[in-house]
Amino acid sequence: MRDKEVRKLIGKEAKRQNDTLNLIASENYVSKDVREALGSVFVNKYAEGYPHARYYGGNTYVDEVEELAKRRALKLFSLSPKAWSVNVQPYSGSPANLAVLHALVPVGEKIMGMSLAMGGHLTHGHKVSVTGKLWEQIPYGVDRGTENIDYGEVMRIAKKEQPKLIIAGATAYSRIVNFKKMKAIADAVGAYLLVDMSHFAGLVAGKAYPSPFPYADAVTTTTHKTLRGPRAAMIFSRNTHPPIPNSKFLISELIDKAVFPGLQGGPHENQIAAIAVALEEAMKPAFKKYAAQIVKNTRAFAEEMKRLGWRVISGGTDTHLFLLDTASRGIGGKEASDALEDAGIIVNKNTIPFDERKPTDPSGIRIGTAALTTRGMKEKEMKEIAFLINAVLGGISKRKKNEAQGKVVRLCKKFPV
Ligand SMILES: *Cc1c(COP(=O)(O)O)cnc(C)c1O
């Protein structure tokens, strides 16, 4: 690269990624092939519209690559093209969720989503998000005792509030969501069920988490978290008519219209090419092993933290992440994540259910293993990292942080990105 300043920053970031332990639950390391597709000549092309219905010329190969991505997406999740459609054009997860709401819910109506403070995503109707300004969020959370979703309570709220759409799926919830129960709740009030599987899509693909497809009307997902693709998103939706009398369009058609021309202009075809690559990778037997290893790693990690005397939210995990209550040991989430970063361990601060501290300095941290599992680490390394976290947070000092950092660098060298 001729641009020295950017080249230098890329080099520094590569080194940072190599020399630190990434426990951010929403991050991963993509393959060289995914990066090659992202940096390919598809970046030069405008392609407003959909395959074979574009507003620009020169789309022969763009059409092929977008159709390839769509075919692979349906195949990966075992969906029949008769029953399901997929839109691979959303720029990222947030616009994908906005598109679904825009397609299916009249502005001003109620949508039900997990509250941000309990683990939901901003775009599930939080008031600072446009999804909370255009629609009224009816929040649900978890049970105070079990820290699991209380489906009876979700049903009670839904019956009282009569939302038009219910969102299942979250960003800081470590347990398997019972989609069957969420569907029963949606049916009881005549609401759509949207599953946002952004976090656990890779686990669904690798059969390490139940599929939401038998129950959902639409499924959104980012492609860059456990699915290990480029930063982008997809929307799956049913080829059925919505329950609106005389509706001319299918749910999937309404969603396509909401993405383009509703919310977006030209799709990022280089991202779409990279999605296609990632989807092919996710169909390989090795990916199934990867998904299973993620869950094994997270469980081993959480168990070790518990053994070392830390409180894990809901007492464990079924997924690629868990939440650690640091405040119960007198350390704020911000202080904890800052101290760990000094030692080369990257996490994010996170609210825990019923958090009494403010979101900018909440009571916990979120720990995810998808990225380190990509580096090849197994249960043994997870326990080692748990030990290092315990050492750093067990009495924060410069000496402890330095000591841990030495060990972090050694571990990173053994498992290069
Ligand atoms: C990450 C995430 C999103 C948003 O994705 P962006 O690509 O950051 O816009 C949406 N929903 C959930 C549940 C997420 O975890």
Confidence of residue 84 (pLDDT cuts 50, 70, 90): very high
Residue 243 has pLDDT above 90, yes or no: no
Q: Report pLDDT for 332.
A: 96
Ligand 1 contact via 123 beta carbon (within 6 Å): yes
For tokens 């067990």, the residue is 394
Confidence of residue 395 (pLDDT cuts 50, 70, 90): confident
**Is the previous residue joined to 285 through a cis bond, with omega within 30 degrees of 0?**
no
Residue 5 has pLDDT above 90, yes or no: yes
Quote the mean pLDDT of the chain: 97
Residue closest via CA to ligand 1's atom 4 equals 93
Top mutation candidate among 198, 231, 263, 319 for ligand 1, by most atoms within 8 Å of CB = 198
Q: Which of 174, 186, 120 is nearest to 148 (CA)?
A: 174
The rounded Å distance from CA 173 to ligand 1 centre is 13
Find the mean pLDDT for residues 162-182: 97
Confidence of residue 24 (pLDDT cuts 50, 70, 90): very high
Confidence of residue 244 (pLDDT cuts 50, 70, 90): confident
The rounded Å distance from CA 2 to ligand 1 centre is 34
Residue 30 has pLDDT above 90, yes or no: yes
> What pLDDT, in 10s, does the model give residues 360-388?
999 999 999 999 999 999 999 999 999 99
Confidence of residue 346 (pLDDT cuts 50, 70, 90): very high
Domains and CATH numbers, the chain: 32-282 (3.40.640.10), 286-414 (3.90.1150.10)
Catalytic residues: 46, 48, 196, 222, 225, 231
The rounded Å distance from CA 100 to ligand 1 centre is 14
| Ligand 1, atom nearest to 93 Cα | 5
The rounded Å distance from CA 400 to ligand 1 centre is 35
Ligand 1 contact via 26 beta carbon (within 6 Å): yes
Q: Report pLDDT for 377.
A: 98
The rounded Å distance from CA 91 to ligand 1 centre is 11
| Ligand 1, atom nearest to 199 Cα | 15
> What pLDDT, in 10s, does the model give residues 266-303?
999 999 999 999 999 999 999 999 999 999 999 999 99
Residue 391 DSSP symbol: H
Q: Report pLDDT for 7.
A: 97
Confidence of residue 247 (pLDDT cuts 50, 70, 90): confident
- Degrees, nearest 5: CA angle 350-351-357: 120
Residue 245 has pLDDT above 80, yes or no: no
The rounded Å distance from CA 121 to ligand 1 centre is 7
Confidence of residue 129 (pLDDT cuts 50, 70, 90): very high
Top mutation candidate among 89, 94, 194 for ligand 1, by most atoms within 8 Å of CB = 94
Top mutation candidate among 130, 222, 223, 224 for ligand 1, by most atoms within 8 Å of CB = 222
Find the mean pLDDT for residues 386-405: 92
Residue closest via CA to ligand 1's atom 5 equals 93
DSSP per residue, 239-305: SS--SSTT--S-HHHHHHHIIIIII-SS--HHHHHHHHHHHHHHTSHHHHHHHHHHHHHHHHHHHHH
Strands 364-368 and 321-325: antiparallel
Residue 181 has pLDDT above 90, yes or no: yes
Residue 127 has pLDDT above 80, yes or no: yes
Q: Report pLDDT for 246.
A: 73
The rounded Å distance from CA 210 to ligand 1 centre is 20
Question: Percent of the chain at pLDDT above 70?
Answer: 100
Cβ burial 196-207 (10 Å sphere, 16+ → b, else e): bbbbbbbbbbbe
Phi, psi values for residue 175, rounded to 5°: -105, 160
| Ligand 1, atom nearest to 197 Cα | 13
Find the mean pLDDT for residues 337-347: 96
Confidence of residue 191 (pLDDT cuts 50, 70, 90): very high
Residue 42 has pLDDT above 90, yes or no: yes
| Ligand 1, atom nearest to 92 Cα | 7
Find the mean pLDDT for residues 85-102: 98
Residue closest via CA to ligand 1's atom 8 equals 93
Q: Report pLDDT for 396.
A: 84
Ligand 1 contact via 196 beta carbon (within 6 Å): yes
pTM (2 decimals)? 0.97
Ligand 1 contact via 171 beta carbon (within 6 Å): yes
Find the mean pLDDT for residues 81-110: 98
Find the mean pLDDT for residues 240-254: 89
CA quadruple 163, 108, 255, 320: dihedral, nearest 10 = -60
Find the mean pLDDT for residues 344-370: 96
Largest CA distance in the chain: 70
Q: Report pLDDT for 369.
A: 98
- Degrees, nearest 5: CA angle 148-153-157: 130
